[in-house]
Amino acid sequence: MNLDNRVALVTGSGRGIGRAIALKLAESGADLVINDFGDPAPAVIVAEEIKKLGRRAEVIMADVSQSAEVNRMVAEALEKFGQIDILVNNAGIARDQLVLKMTDEDWDRVLDVNLKSVFLCTRAVMRAMIKQRRGRIISIASVSGLLGNPGQANYAAAKAGILGFTRTVAKELASRGITANAVAPGLIDAGLGQALKEEYREEMRKHIPLGFLGTPQDVAEAVVFLAGDGARYITGQVLNVDGGMVVSW
């Protein structure tokens, strides 16, 4: 996979799946904008790891649910690199609760971080990609958005929203040489997947035909494929990286 001379912006890439995606893109030749929110220390470490691979990396902290912060992040990235070829909308949170007990705040925050951010970041990079006549927009959805999941109405709604958004953007930007796709991980042994109760993880594992949890690297492989020239004829799709969970449900 050759991503030499490509610049990628990965949101929420200080840890977990985003970190694995950033590192895999760098291994494939891309320079990286590492974005995160809160403590910048993990993002700085990821940037150092990328520099050791011989690629450029800049940390730009921003809350991707906030329009002004997203616009500042993209402006800074363009100032530093002059181009953005690959956007990976990865940042995400969960605030699980049954609908009966879910607060407005839990609904709004999850929709803002997991879905509004995808709109804000995509809109912010679009102009540069249109000018370049080249771009890859890859958003991390979830099998929860396809199957539904008790306790995750906010999360599942946001992730399902990503799919409709992705198909629309794919159509709007196809004539500009830009593709938009989603990757829907199943249960991944990192980040949000690790935060789940062990009994629940064991119960879910029974629904995975391959019989084991995925790794952040499994998700990163799919993202790097969609980011590369080999995927030039793929747009508006959702690629499940789930050990077969969705087909067996």
Ligand X SMILES: NC(=O)c1ccc[n+]([C@@H]2O[C@H](COP(=O)([O-])OP(=O)(O)OC[C@H]3O[C@@H](n4cnc5c(N)ncnc54)[C@H](O)[C@@H]3O)[C@@H](O)[C@H]2O)c1
Residues 210-249 contacting ligand X, CB under 6 A? none
Tokens at residue 62, please? Answer: 């921003």
CB contact at 8 A, 191 and 228: no
Residue 89's closest CA among 113, 60, 55? 113
Task: State how far the Cα of 192 lies from the Cα of 93, in Å rounded to an integer.
Answer: 7
Residue 192 interacts with ligand X (CB under 6 A): yes or no: yes
Task: State how far the Cα of 249 lies from the Cα of 245, in Å rounded to an integer.
Answer: 6
Looking up tokens 């969705």 gives 246
DSSP three-state, residue 102: coil
Q: Count the residues of the shown chain that bind ligand X, applying the rule CB under 6 A.
A: 28
- Given the complex with ligand X, which of 95 and 176 has the nearer CB atom? 95
Q: Provide the minimum distance between the beta carbon of 28 and ligand X in the complex, in angstroms, as a whole number.
A: 19
Q: Which of 3, 6, 8, 16 binds ligand X (CB under 6 A)?
A: 16
Q: Which of 33, 187, 223, 224 binds ligand X (CB under 6 A)?
A: 187
Residue 145 interacts with ligand X (CB under 6 A): yes or no: no
Residue 200 annotated in active site: no
Residue 190 interacts with ligand X (CB under 6 A): yes or no: yes
Task: State how far the Cα of 183 lies from the Cα of 162, in Å rounded to an integer.
Answer: 10
Q: Which of 155, 158, 192, 222 is an active site residue? A: 155
Residue 187: CB atoms within 10 A of its CB come to 23
Q: For ligand X, what does the binding mask look like between residues 48 and 67, x meaning CB under 6 A? A: ---------------xxx--
Q: Is 99 exposed, middle or buried (0-12, 13-18, 19+ CB in 10 A)?
A: exposed
Residue 180 interacts with ligand X (CB under 6 A): yes or no: no
Residue 36 interacts with ligand X (CB under 6 A): yes or no: yes
Q: Which of 7, 57, 60, 92 binds ligand X (CB under 6 A)?
A: 92
- Given the complex with ligand X, which of 176 and 205 has the nearer CB atom? 205
Task: State how far the Cα of 181 lies from the Cα of 244, in Å rounded to an integer.
Answer: 19
Task: State how far the Cα of 102 lies from the Cα of 97, in Å rounded to an integer.
Answer: 5
Task: Identify which range of 1-9, 118-126, 180-188, 198-206 contacts ligand X by CB under 6 A.
Answer: 180-188
- Given the complex with ligand X, which of 201 and 229 has the nearer CB atom? 201
Q: Provide the minimum distance between the beta carbon of 23 and ligand X in the complex, in angstroms, as a whole number.
A: 13
Catalytic annotation, residues: 155
